[in-house]
């Protein structure tokens, strides 16, 4: 007999943060923590030991800190996954196990869930099997792996319960998505009827490009910052420097210009032939505010996704709900 599943989870392991969307007794919960993992070690302070225990998981018999504990106690300067192949690493598995631990703490058993995860568009076909293999070590739930750029589109076309949206129509509307993450920017186009346009899908560099540029610019002024601090400074335009807030707005704007140029160049190549006839362009992801105004100036029907940082995880959860409903209909028909 086929196993039946009861709940839906959207699980977005990003290169900067891990974001999870799930429901508990009809209440939606958003989980977020830094995508940082490192081998665990003994902490002498008892209070910190207790806190660290909540963010410690076992990977192949070895303990790993993840999230804030790894970031603080491990002295990590930024994200763990600074390569395309990080899905096949113990650190990635630690993040996944850590995310499921936080889900279980809410009273949800992932083994009884449909779980939707994603990969950058250009990596989806060649890393899908690897990601599913890692997930199978962490849960007995049903795992679906999608191109992550699809998720903001699903977030618009489906309501919070996974039903067709009353405001938008998958059957009659055509949309592009530009999803700006930390490691990559993913671009895709869906024509009316939910038709994926292969030649309009692709990836370019993500926020890390601008963070790296800001690191170099500040380094030239003898101010050393890590990737995590540089990423935050792109948004805040300040850094803490010997007890004072140092204004780095000039350097940040120049650095942001590098990612804006890169994203506009790739987006134009992929969707310019179609964009005039689209209903709109969804700008999503943690880095969306960095490029939104520039894209809207070029394409006035661009919109910033609601809760843009969680647009991927939320869209995944809504798609998981559709899968649950289709499974239930299939079981009923049998």
- Same domain for 252 and 280, yes or no, is yes
- Same domain for 70 and 48, yes or no, is yes
Structural domain includes residue 183: no
Structural domain includes residue 50: yes
| Pairing label, strands 17-24, 7-13 | antiparallel
Alpha helices in 23-143 (DSSP H): 46-53, 67-73, 90-105, 124-138
* CATH number of the structural domain spanning residue 162: 3.30.420.40
**Hey, what are 82's tokens?**
């600074």
- Same domain for 265 and 320, yes or no, is no
Report the percent of the chain where pLDDT is more than 90: 80
- Same domain for 115 and 215, yes or no, is no
- Same domain for 163 and 268, yes or no, is no
Structural domain includes residue 296: yes
Contact 117, 143 (CB under 8 A): yes
Domain count of the chain? 2
Structural domain includes residue 186: no
pLDDT band at 1 (very low <50, low <70, confident <90, very high): very low
Structural domain includes residue 58: yes
Complete edge-to-edge strand list for the sheet that includes strand 56-59: 37-39, 62-66, 56-59
- Same domain for 156 and 251, yes or no, is no
Domain of 129? Answer: 7-171+310-333
- Same domain for 26 and 162, yes or no, is yes
- Same domain for 70 and 127, yes or no, is yes
- Strands of the chain, DSSP E: 7-13, 17-24, 27-34, 37-39, 56-59, 62-66, 113-119, 142-147, 175-180, 184-191, 195-196, 202-205, 238-241, 244-247, 280-284, 302-304
Structural domain includes residue 178: no
- Same domain for 126 and 15, yes or no, is yes
Structural domain includes residue 241: yes
Task: Encode pLDDT of 223-281 as tens digits.
Answer: 999 887 898 899 999 999 999 999 999 999 999 999 999 999 999 999 999 999 999 99
- Predicted confidence at residue 83, as pLDDT, reads 67
- Same domain for 46 and 154, yes or no, is yes
pLDDT band at 16 (very low <50, low <70, confident <90, very high): confident
- Same domain for 14 and 146, yes or no, is yes
Instruction: Say if residue 165 is exposed, middle or buried (CB neighbours under 10 Å; 0-12, 13-18, 19+).
Output: middle
Q: Does position 152 have pLDDT exceeding 90, yes or no?
A: yes
- Same domain for 268 and 320, yes or no, is no
* Interval 89-112 mean pLDDT: 96
- Predicted confidence at residue 25, as pLDDT, reads 75
Structural domain includes residue 191: no
**Hey, what are 71's tokens?**
């970031």
């Amino acid at each position: 007999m086929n196993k039946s599943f009861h709940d839906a989870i959207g699980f977005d392991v990003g290169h900067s943060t891990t974001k999870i969307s799930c429901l508990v007794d009809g209440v939606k919960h958003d989980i977020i923590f830094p995508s940082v993992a490192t081998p665990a070690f003994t902490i002498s302070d008892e209070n910190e030991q207790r806190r660290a225990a909540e963010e410690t998981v076992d990977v192949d018999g070895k303990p790993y800190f993840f999230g804030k504990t790894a970031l603080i106690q491990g002295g990590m300067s930024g994200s763990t996954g600074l390569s395309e192949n990080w899905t096949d690493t113990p650190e990635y598995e630690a993040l996944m196990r850590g995310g499921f631990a936080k889900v279980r703490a809410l009273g949800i058993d992932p083994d009884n869930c449909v779980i939707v995860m994603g990969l950058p568009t250009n990596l989806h076909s060649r890393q899908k099997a690897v990601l599913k293999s890692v997930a199978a070590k962490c849960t007995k739930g049903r795992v679906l792996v999608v191109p992550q750029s699809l998720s903001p589109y699903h977030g618009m076309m489906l309501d919070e319960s996974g039903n067709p949206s009353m405001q938008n129509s998958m059957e009659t509307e055509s949309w592009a998505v530009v999803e700006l993450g930390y490691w990559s920017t993913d671009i895709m186009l869906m024509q009316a009827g939910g038709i994926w346009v292969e030649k309009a899908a692709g990836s370019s560099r993500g926020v890390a490009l601008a963070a790296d540029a800001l690191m170099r610019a500040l380094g030239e002024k003898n101010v050393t910052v890590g990737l995590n601090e540089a990423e935050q400074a792109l948004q805040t335009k300040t850094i803490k420097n010997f007890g004072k807030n140092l204004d780095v707005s000039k350097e940040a704007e120049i650095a942001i210009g590098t990612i804006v140029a890169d994203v506009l160049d790739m987006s134009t190549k992929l969707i310019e032939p179609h964009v005039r006839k689209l209903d709109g362009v969804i700008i999503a992801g943690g880095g969306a505010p960095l490029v939104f105004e520039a894209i809207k100036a070029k394409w006035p029907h661009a919109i910033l996704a609601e809760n843009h940082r969680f647009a991927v995880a939320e869209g995944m959860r809504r798609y998981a709900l559709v899968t649950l409903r289709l499974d239930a209909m299939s079981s009923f028909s049998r």
